[in-house]
């Protein structure tokens, strides 16, 4: 945990990490365990849909032109061009929808997007950095996923090197070394600070 004092209650929790650190695994576990209390803020992206992903569940998949319309119409809380032509963002309508039905929002978001959300919503957000045990472990996890070609893997590895420098910019550091321990610690965070 960082030196920041955690509030007793938030209405949003951001899980952020470099690609392959395990934030999506943590988020999916929490959403299943606390489905009555938590709602997933589905991001919008221009990247290609992976075989195991479902549009409207994992992401809203749109074209680059459609994404640029969302930017122009100010329909995003935050957005970023993560890779050339690879846009990611958070829809204002997603945030509003989940808050309107009384859910606590869970974000699975990159470090830059998490900083933007934290800057926008401040003390309403608990920002959790999911830390891999090592850089080499992280690269191995990415390779083992087999979702990247050599070029995209190289881009992700270069980005990871930068994102690993951000761990102390967030409220809490969650080490993801032994998955069962990581999930247990994540459950404690949710129970102590969101529900």
User: For residues 157 and 165, what is the distance between their CA atoms, to the nearest angstrom?
Assistant: 13
| Number of domains, the chain | 1
Tell me the pLDDT tens digit for each residue of 44-68: 999 999 888 999 999 999 999 999 9
Q: Which domain holds residue 174?
A: 12-193
Whether residue 6 lies inside any domain: the answer is: no
Instruction: Looking at 52-103, list the stretches that DSSP marks H as alpha helix, in order from N- to C-terminal side.
Output: 64-72, 92-100
Task: Place 145 in a pLDDT band, splitting at 50, 70 and 90.
Answer: confident
For residue range 80-101, what is the model confidence (pLDDT) as tens digits? 998 788 899 999 999 999 999 9
Q: Is residue 34 part of a domain?
A: yes
How would residue 7 be classed by pLDDT, with cut points 50, 70 and 90?
A: very low
Provide CB contacts within 8 A for 104, sequence distance 6+: 10, 11, 12, 13, 37, 38, 39, 194, 195
Domain CATH number, residue 128: 3.40.50.300
**Which strands, in side-by-side order, build the sheet including 59-61?**
59-61, 43-45, 86-91, 76-83
Mean pLDDT of all residues belonging to the chain: 89
Strands 59-61 and 125-131: unpaired
Q: Which pair of structure tokens corresponds to residue 183?
A: 């999930």
Q: How many residues does the chain have?
A: 195
Is 3 contained in some domain? no
pTM: 0.84
């Amino acid at each position: 945990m960082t030196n920041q004092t955690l509030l007793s209650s938030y209405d949003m929790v951001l899980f952020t990490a470099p690609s392959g650190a395990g934030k999506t695994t943590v988020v999916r576990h929490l959403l299943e365990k606390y489905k009555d209390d938590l709602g997933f803020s589905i991001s919008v992206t221009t990247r290609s849909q992976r075989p195991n992903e479902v549009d409207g569940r994992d992401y809203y998949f749109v074209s680059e032109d459609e994404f640029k319309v969302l930017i122009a119409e100010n329909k995003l809380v935050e957005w970023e061009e993560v890779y050339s032509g690879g846009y990611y963002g958070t829809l204002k309508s997603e945030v509003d929808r989940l808050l309107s039905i009384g859910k606590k929002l869970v974000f699975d978001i990159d470090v830059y997007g998490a900083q933007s959300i934290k800057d926008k919503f401040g003390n309403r957000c608990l920002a959790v950095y999911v830390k891999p045990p090592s850089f080499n472990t992280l690269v191995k996890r990415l390779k083992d996923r087999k979702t990247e070609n050599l070029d995209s893997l190289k881009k992700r590895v270069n980005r990871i090197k930068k994102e690993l420098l951000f761990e102390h910019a967030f409220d809490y550091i969650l080490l993801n070394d032994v998955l069962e321990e990581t999930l247990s610690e994540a459950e404690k965070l949710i129970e102590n600070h969101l529900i």
